[in-house]
Structure 1
Amino acid sequence: MTTRIGLVAGEPSGDLLAARMMAGLTEHIEQAQFEGIGGPAMRAQDLSQWYPMDALSVFGYVDALKRLPGLLHTYSRVRSRWLKNKPDVFVGIDAPDFNLRLEKTLKQAGVPTVHFVGPSIWAWRYSRIHTIRESVSHMLVLFPFETELYEREGIPVTFVGHPLADLIPVQPDRRAAQARLGLDPNRKVLAVLPGSRASEVRLLSARFLQAVRLLQKQSPDLQIVVPMVNQQRRREFEAIAQENAIEHMLIIDQSLQEGRPAAWEAMEAADAVLVASGTATLETALFKRPMVISYVLSPMMRRLMAWKSGQEKPYVPWVGLPNVLLQDFVVPELLQDDATPVKLAEACWNALSDETYVADVEKKFEQLHQSLKCDTPKRAANAILKVLNREAGTTV
């Protein structure tokens, strides 16, 4: 008997996560049929791809507004298709604005729904919990503290760990990474990550580079590695770098790094990291590197976020994921007006030079890594199997 599993992933990270989960499900379901929206990794696991994940990929509110007609068309088509021919279970991977809406419709039609990667309701828009309760049969969350939140609201939930913790080595090899990049192992290395979006590169790069210039006045031999997510971001960054000349700077991009993100090469090679707030902060923590987290929003984006969320700031006092997970300012956060070159340089110098501080950060990050390393794909697959079994009243 064929078990049909509907899937929607809209980002490369979700594509990889879903593909590994699909492999786990295939081991336990004799005839699993996967269908929906995904990317190349999911296609490699035999996804019947109705639309590519690029159909859902948006970068910020402005891009989402521009692409709204296409998103609505895609939503309407997949909803109609699944309502006519219902899957045995639907799994939405992240992309909450799209997936929660779809999950609510499917759940009302009698399809069990699983949402993989909980929205950050602990920081913004907690009111979404009511939509989640109406839409989701079972939540799969990446962070331990999220389980209590959903259990308190009566929503079935399973902590599955974070997939990055399975992929990033517990003991990173700084010397090997430096050798791969041709860096001098006898000189300090600072990785600079101004973000993957054009707006981030535009608003952060000059500040970061000006901070680097101050650092190189103190330490002229300091080596700088800047990973770029693609050639477009690289061109944008290089245009800004021409106005902020830096010595000993290596820019790398995805095309030069076979088999792993360029950012991971830079993080593993670094002694410290200056990084835009986002998933990269968690990756940096898993590489056990001290970091300085920064972010700057344009006035328009601040107004858009406040309007959409109904709040001026997050519920928690931290922005960076490592600090959120450890419930402390383990690493500094310099945001908006505090993101000055002088303050960024001072914080980075401490991360590069204070050995006692660095050792304490590394210890806390190793404990964090172990708490998130749970074989996420296997746990997620087992949770989905339980949903299928519960609905069928038997073993799949």
Structure 2
Amino acid sequence: MKYYIITGEASGDLHASNLMKELKIQDPEAKFRFWGGDLMLAQGGELVKHYRETAFMGFLTVVKNLGKIKANFSLCETDLLKFNPDVLILVDYPGFNLRMAKFAKKHGIRVHYYISPKIWAWKESRVKKIKAYVDRMFTIFPFETEFYQKHNFEVSFGGNPLLDAIENRPNKEEGFPDFIKRNKLGEKPIIALLAGSRKQEIERVLPVMLECVDSFPDHQFVVAAAPSIDAEFYASVVGDQNVQFVYGQTYDLLQQAKAAVVTSGTATLETALLRIPQVVCYLTGGGKLLFTIGKRLLKVKYISLVNLIMDQLIVKELIQHTCNKEMIIQELNQILFNKEYRIQMLYNYQLLNEKLGGAGASARFAKMIYEDLQR
């Protein structure tokens, strides 16, 4: 069968590549054409556009690149019809993908959505488009089933593919001595800093994280640097602070860390699945007024995926005015030195893992997709 896949960011490239790997097992004759990245390309098929060329985030960035965005839509529509796939598989990336879902539906192409947009937190009205243009929705969080049931739309939950990515990560057996030797780090225990992968969020949150460095002289702070961000940018943010960097090794770094300070997002779940105690940070631009408005628009109780999935406060969330030096230090002291507090967080992580269904999600989703097409 012929599969056309669209994703617009690094995490989508990761999950789509694992899905492609499993689809080839289900369907040895599978042919792929896609918008994605290097990991998908390694699975075979034709890459139309790399996500580096399509990732336009933020209102001003979108406005400045409207011409490119329109050209991408036009290219994708033409290319989709030319390839004429048995199914269009959309991976998150709702601004682009919901429009393509409408186009595909109009032209009689079956639409599968793999990894739902986070409409349960923001822009819930998009559910109308999903119901109208998506034939099957495959979800990765258990609470999404209840959300869609509320809107009378059946979905298929198959577990979370992050468990597969973590289970199959390279350097899984690497020890602390080898890791610090390979990355030219010191011998002190590591506190990992995960400040995000976009320049705007790094500029906002990393300086606040760095204010804590001098309060933990017996630890070394190591930043999980995003491969897409150049060293000069990080240097401009960090200045003369005593921190180290490792590029493109987030899982390797977390595996060796004693604790982590993490910007809200997928990284909070990855940190939990790797069993590293963490404190979650979130800062928005635009000041207190914009934050207050945004908070009223949110539909969820928590900002971190860990707490959302468990529906209780498992990891501390420091948001906006509480995201400061004193509060981060206080929570780091708890997860590093309060034995009972640390053990309880690790126990909750185990419950989280069980709730997500364990490894093998990519294979389960591939089987569901292929069986749907067979029918």
Match of 1:263 in 2: 250
State the alpha-carbon separation in 2 of the partners of residues 43 and 222 from structure 1: 39
Q: 1:237 to 1:90 in 2, by over 3 A?
A: same
1-side partners of 2:228 and 2:163: how far apart? 28
**Structure 1 135/222 Cα, relative in aligned 2: closer, same or farther at 3 Å?**
same
Paired position in structure 1 for 2:302: 318
Q: Which residue of 2 aligns with 1:253?
A: 247
Unmatched 5+ stretches in structure 2: none
Measure, in 1, the Cα distance between the counterparts of 2:93 and 2:138. 14
Question: Which structure 1 segments of 5+ residues have no match?
Answer: 255-261, 391-396
Question: How far off its partner does 1:30 sit?
Answer: 4.4
Aligned pairs for 1:282-293 (under 5 A) are 282-293=269-280
Which residue pairs with 1:375 in the alignment? 360
Distance 1:231 1:126, change over 3 A: closer
How has the CA–CA distance of structure 1 residues 49 and 189 changed in structure 2, closer, same or farther, with 3 Å as cutoff?
A: closer
Residue 394 of structure 1 corresponds to which residue in structure 2? none
Q: Measure how far apart 1:113 and its partner are.
A: 0.3
User: How many angstroms apart in 1 are the aligned matches of 2:311 and 2:322?
Assistant: 21
Amino acid across the alignment from 1:267: L
Aligned partner of residue 40 in structure 2, secondary structure: helix
In the TM superposition, residue 35 of structure 1 has moved relative to its aligned partner by 1.7
Does the residue aligned with 1:344 lie in a helix, a strand or coil? Answer: helix
Residue in 2 that maps onto 1:192? 193
Instruction: Name the CA distance, whole Å, in 1 between partners of 2:263 and 2:154.
Output: 33
Distance, in Å, in 1 between the alignment partners of 2:111 and 2:266 is 26
CA contact (8 A) 2:164 2:362 kept: no
Deviation at 1:84, TM superposition (A): 5.6
2:327 corresponding residue in structure 1: 343
Cα distance in 2 for partners of 1:68, 1:84 equals 24
Letter in 2 for 1:355: K
State how 1:55-70 maps to structure 2 within 5 Å: 55-70=53-68
Residue 259 of structure 1 aligns with which residue?
Answer: none
CA shift in 2, pair 1:236/1:49, >3 Å: closer
Residues in 2 aligned to 1:64 and 1:16: alpha-carbon distance in whole angstroms = 24
The Cα shift of 1:134 comes to 0.8
Give the counterpart letter for 1:282 in structure 2. Answer: L
Question: Structure 1 CA distance, aligned partners of 2:201 and 2:76?
Answer: 33
Given the superposition, is the C-alpha separation of residues 305 and 17 from structure 1 closer, same or farther in structure 2, using an over 3 Å criterion? farther
Q: CA deviation at 1:104?
A: 1.5
Given the alignment of the two structures, is residue 280 of structure 1 paired with residue 267 of structure 2, yes or no?
Answer: yes
**Could you list the per-position Cα deviations for residues 170-228 of structure 1 after superposition, in whole angstroms to 9, with x for gaps in the alignment?**
9x98981454114666x543112222211122111221111222x23xxx322222221
How far 1:105 sits from its partner (Å)? 1.8
In 2, Cα distance between the equivalents of 1:327 and 1:305? 23
1:303 CA displacement: 4.3
- Does the residue aligned with 2:296 lie in a helix, a strand or coil? coil
Distance 2:238 2:51 in 1: 33
- Counterpart amino acid of residue 333 in structure 1: E
How far off its partner does 1:378 sit? 1.0
TM-score between both structures, scaled by the size of structure 1: 0.85
Is contact 1:137–1:156 with CA below 8 Å preserved after alignment? no
What's the secondary structure of 1:312's corresponding residue? helix
1:169 is displaced (CA, Å) by: 4.4
Q: CA RMSD in A?
A: 2.7
* C-alpha distance after superposition, 1:226-273 (max 9, x if no partner): 221137454333333325x33xx332223xxxxxxx221221111111
Displacement after TM superposition at 1:167 (Å): 2.5
Partner letter of residue 364 of structure 2?
R
Q: Which amino acid aligns with 1:204?
A: V
1:196-215 mapped onto 2 (5 Å cutoff): 196-213=197-214, 215=215
Superposed CA offset, 1:294-318 (max 9, x none): 1111117984995xx8x73421121
2-structure distance, mates of 1:288, 1:33: 37
**2: CA distance between counterparts of 1:156 and 1:337?**
39
Match of 2:41 among 37, 40, 43: 43
Residue 24 of structure 1 corresponds to 22
- How many pairs does the alignment contain? 370
Q: Which one-letter code corresponds to 2:360 in the other structure?
A: D
Identity rate of aligned residues, in percent? 28
1: distance between equivalents of 2:196 and 2:110?
A: 37
2:247 is matched by which residue type in structure 1?
Answer: D
Partner of 2:93: 95
Give the 3 Å change call, closer, same or farther, for CA 153–23 of structure 1 in structure 2: same
Moved more, 231-240 or 146-155: 231-240
- SS of aligned partner of 2:159: coil
Aligned pair in 2 of structure 1 residues 184, 360: CA closer, same or farther (>3 Å)? farther
Write the deviation string for residues 84-137 of structure 1: whole angstroms up to 9, x where unpaired: 663211101111111111111211322110011111122111111111101110
**Residues 167, 359 of structure 2: 8 Å contact kept:** no
1:2-151 correspondence to structure 2 within 5 Å = 3-83=1-81, 86-151=84-149
Pick the aligned partner of 1:223 from 214, 220, 223: 220
